[in-house]
A and B are shown apart, each in its own frame.
Chain A
Amino acid sequence: MDWQHGKCCHQISDAGAVREVAVRLPIAEKRRNSASRKHINPRVVRRPRIAEETLSAYLFLGPTLLHLVVFTAFPVLFALYLSFQSWNLATGANYFVGFANYGELLQDEAFHRSLGNTAYFTATVLVSVLVVSLGTALLLNQALPARKLLRSISYMPAVTSVIAIAGIWTWLLEPTYGPVNTLLATVGIEGPRWLSNTDTALPSLILVSIWRTFGYFALIFLAGLQAIDPTYYEAAQIDGAGELALFRHITLPLLAPTTLFVSVMVVIGSFQVFGLVYATTGGGPVGATNVLVFFLYQQVFLYFQMGYGAAAAYVLFAIVFVATLVQLRLGRGMTPEQQSNV
């Protein structure tokens, strides 16, 4: 190996062995057949290896980076700028107002209600999804005959368009003519008005949301369950542990990273719920299902107040950011050994 010509770098092969490889500079090729090969001229200018590789990397990344900057980074930063402006899209008036938008949000009763609705929605969906998807995963982990079919069925709502789901459920839950209430009437129960009642509208949406996502998270829990080394169970069973004890002391703790992941995803997704609300209740009735993103949508698309809407968006960002930080802190503290599973 011609160490004088190149740098050494390590390569780790699939088998885990470490090999030392010399990386030869292009200039070394030119001089391969020259008579003065054995003489190393320290003043030869070596084309910097790093710059060329980096350059080609950037060229490959370029299109995607451009897309990311134009369609993600720029709008996010522009929205931050907007949140300090008052911009009426209809009249075109656009001027700086400092923190006035945020101040107004703090006093906006409708905003408080949407925060409350969103928090209630998120908390309920989180607890329910954790229980339901873990339960489903445990079920799917058994050697059931229809296991693959059940897996597909439970997963299908997660890959269905939210607008289609909204349409179907609006019809299913229609208070007067819908199948759910008609079915309940046959057993003598007068069904509630579901999406048309201020008390049952949000719970109805919570149910639909759970139905929609539990399959997806069940699959994630299933992967987590199957990653648990069976020797743990064997050891515990030798010590005389029953099913419940196995679950409490082996399964749950070893699932902690998966649980953390699911929790974070559910919280982020629930705080951002919009499509379902828009396509079913339109934030109503009377603001009962007005969630944070819907409030934002109203400000921007109904009242044309771009700055106010942007401020609401950043409040949402701050809340989700803090919530995720808290969850990660709590989660990290609990799972020192299985961190690599996340």
Chain B
Amino acid sequence: MNGRIKRRTLLFRIAPSLAIPAVLNAACSSAPGGPVAATATAASAPATVEFWHAFPTALVGTLNQLIKDFEATHPNIKVRATQYAVGDITTKTLTSVAAGAPPDVYTQGIAVLPDLVVQKALAPIDDFGPLPVELYPGFDQLTKFNGKRYGVPANGGITAMFYNPARFKAAGLDPAKPPATWDELRAYAKKLTDPATKTFGLIVPAAPVNWTANMWFGFLLQAGGQFLSQDNKTAAFNSDAGVQALQFWIELVNTDKSAPVADLNSETMMSTYSTGNIGIMPHYAGVLGAVKGYPFPSLSAPLPAGKQRGAHLAGQFLCVFEGGKSKAAAGEFVKWWAAAENTALWAASGGGMPTSEAASKHKLYQDYLKNEPLVKGFQDSLQFAVGTPNVVGISGIQVRVAEAIQSAIFGKATAKEALDKAAAQANAVLKG
């Protein structure tokens, strides 16, 4: 009995003190982490806006600058920004809403705005008063649902083409004259392709994710097509125009072999282009900053015209949650972001396109336009950029279209078969 701990001591002193930290650990490891923020009441306690975003790391510096400016002019509000990966933020936010603990604001990338409105998770922006600027009309359709606005674009996303002038010159093409029509794009891509040096004229995405469908949407518009019917009740992307648009991609990849057969996504498109072996890369304005950093200069141009011009308009929308702890403060933050000088600063840092005429005309952005040739293609595309319809379940439909694109590019189905299958799945979702 001498060396052994007395049973009583063990039972009532040591074991419980071992248990307590472990229990705390188990309880706390799942907590979302974050202080319990007091809501902004009569200028007494400061409000903390919990802001979840998926902006790239390259823009975090500008983000912190904007937050500092906001906090300076709004002394009772603090903004806590947490960065999430693009692929994670939607799931993370949706689960937090389901758990009843959403953030105050988040940046929406994948189009779940209508779905969130249906479950009454978002606060209408109009509740916080009028916006300081008039947004571009294209954003109305994307951020309004059932007549009310539920998101404010932090930046505009637009699809256009990046191209490698060195590859153009090597193929005997004039870098000042990028392809302006489908036929020209096809011819250029053929010229830029050289199997001996493993260079390709073009790359197109085929990964079965929303992004692929959105990249293709521009081509659908160029062929004169629509994503959904006018009343948003049936799929319209499997029309003749849609089949034409997908067939164009199939021929570029499989007939001309000007683009590799691969299921590229946003990141692998960029890493492939960065090797310098690709002539043309269609992509979004948001990656401008990254493309600038590649070991060769690039230029940009709008996507070519089919029957007409077309480009996908998107962007990251700031949405305010009803269940957030500092809703009023969050509304202030979101509205403030839309002001001309703030949006212009963001756009001038490579964060995407400006969201209003006022921001476009602001000196910060005008200077940026003058000094950054890479923006030209995207700026010129603003006038014919259109967003995908804003309906419940649209994100799942986009994934189905992307799957159709992938199976067509890999030769597992014709363009018509693939799109018809996706349309059937989409109609099932749209029906209810």
Q: Is the CB of B396 within 8 A of A302?
A: yes
Given contacts A196-B263, A303-B396, contact A59 B11 (CB under 8 A): yes
Q: Which residue of A lies closest to B413 (CB)?
A: A286
In the A-B complex, the 3 residue pairs with the smallest Cβ-Cβ separation, listed nearest first, are A63-B22, A92-B119, A90-B115
Assess whether A64 is interfacial by the CB under 8 Å rule.
yes
Most-contacted residue by chain B among A66, A88, A284, A302 (CB, 10 A): A302
The yes or no answer to B19 lying at the interface (CB within 8 A) is yes
Mask: chain B, 69-113; 1 = CB below 8 Å from A; 0 = not: 000000000000000000000010011011000000000000010
Residue B395 is within 8 A (CB to CB) of chain A in the complex: yes
Interface residues on B, range: 35 or more
Please determine whether B10 and A56 come into contact, CB atoms closer than 8 angstroms.
yes
A-chain residues with CB within 8 Å of residue B393 when the two chains form the complex: 90-91
Residue pairs across A and B with Cβ atoms less than 8 A apart, 26 shown, are: A26-B7, A56-B10, A60-B19, A63-B22, A66-B23, A67-B26, A71-B26, A90-B94, A90-B116, A91-B119, A91-B392, A91-B393, A92-B97, A93-B119, A175-B260, A177-B275, A193-B261, A196-B260, A198-B412, A282-B263, A285-B206, A285-B406, A285-B410, A286-B403, A302-B209, A303-B399
**What are the interface flags for A252-283 relative to B under an 8 Å C-beta threshold, 1 for contact and 0 otherwise?**
00000000000000000000000000000111
Contact B260 A89 (CB under 8 A): no
- Tell me if B198 counts as interface (CB < 8 A to partner A): yes
By the criterion CB–CB under 8 Å, are A56 and B11 in contact? yes
- In the bound complex, CA of A341 to CA of B415 (Å): 58
The reply on B176 being an interface residue by CB < 8 A is: no
When the two chains form their complex, are residues B26 and A283 in contact, meaning their CB atoms are under 8 A apart?
no
B112-135, CB under 8 A of A: which get 1 and which 0?
A: 100110110100000000000000
**A322 proximal to B (CB < 8 A):** no
Q: Mark B201-222, 1 if CB is under 8 A from A, else 0.
A: 0000011110000000000000
Please indicate the chain A residues that have their CB under 8 angstroms from the CB of B19 in the complex: 59-60, 62-63
Determine whether B295 belongs to the interface, using a CB cutoff of 8 Å to chain A. no
Identify A284's interface contact among B15, B94, B207, B399, CB under 8 A: B207
**Contact indicator per residue, chain A 62-77, by CB within 8 Å of chain B (1) or not (0):** 1110110011000000
Q: Is the CB of A89 within 8 A of B94?
A: yes
Please, which residue of chain A has its CB at the minimum distance from the CB of B406?
Answer: A286
- B16-59: CB near A (< 8 Å → 1, else 0) gives 10110011011000100000000000000000000000000000
B208 touches A283 (CB 8 A): yes
A315 to chain B, nearest CB (A): 21
Q: Is the CB of A63 within 8 A of B11?
A: no
Query: A55 at the A/B interface (Cβ < 8 Å)?
Result: yes
A89 and B98: CB pair below 8 A? yes
> Which residues of chain A are near B115, meaning CB under 8 Å?
88, 90-92, 304
Residues in chain B within 8 A of chain A (CB atoms):
1, 7, 10-11, 15-16, 18-19, 22-23, 25-26, 30, 91, 94-95, 97-98, 112, 115-116, 118-119, 121, 198, 206-209, 260-263, 265, 275, 277, 392-393, 395-396, 399, 403, 406-407, 410, 412
A60 x B97 contact (CB < 8 A): no
A52 pairs with B407, CB closer than 8 A? no
* B94, B198, B396: the one within 8 Å of A176 (CB): B198
Q: Confirm or deny: A321 has a beta carbon within 8 angstroms of a beta carbon on chain B.
A: no
Find out whether the CB atom of A285 lies under 8 angstroms from the CB atom of B395.
no
Which chain A residue has the least Cβ–Cβ distance from B116?
A90
**Nearest-CB residue, chain A, relative to B97:** A92
Nearest chain-A residue to B275 (Cβ)?
A: A177
Residues of B within 8 A of A70 (CB): 26, 30
Of A56, A59, A286, A304, chain B has the most CB atoms within 10 Å of the CB of A286
Residues in A lying within 8 Å of B, measured CB to CB: 26, 29, 52, 55-56, 59-60, 62-64, 66-67, 70-71, 88-93, 175-177, 193, 196, 198, 281-286, 301-304
Residue contact B261 to A60, C-beta cutoff 8 Å:
no
A136 shortest CB reach to chain B, Å: 34
Q: How far is the CB of B12 from chain A (nearest CB, A)?
A: 9
Please report the C-alpha to C-alpha distance between residue A196 and residue B265 in the assembled complex, in whole angstroms: 13
The residue from A26, A281, A304 contacting B396, defined by CB atoms under 8 A apart: A304
Given contacts A56-B10, A193-B261, A196-B262, contact A91 B118 (CB under 8 A): yes
- Residues of chain A within 8 A (CB-CB) of B392 are 90-91
Further pairs besides A66-B23, A282-B263, A303-B399: 5, Cβ < 8 Å: A63-B23, A284-B207, A285-B263, A302-B396, A304-B112
Closest to B115 in A: A90
B56 to chain A, nearest CB (A): 20
Would you call B396 and A63 a contact (CB within 8 A)?
Answer: no
Q: Which A residues lie within 8 Å of B23 (CB)?
A: 62-63, 66
Beyond A66-B23, A282-B207, A286-B406, is A92–B263 a contact (Cβ under 8 Å)? Answer: no
CA distance A177 to B271 in the complex (A): 12
- Residues in A whose Cβ lies below 8 Å from that of B1: 29
The reply to whether A90 and B261 form a contact with Cβ atoms under 8 Å apart is: no
Nearest B residue to A92 via CB reads: B119
CB-defined contacts of A196 to chain B, threshold 8 Å: 260-263
> A286 and B26: CB pair below 8 A?
no
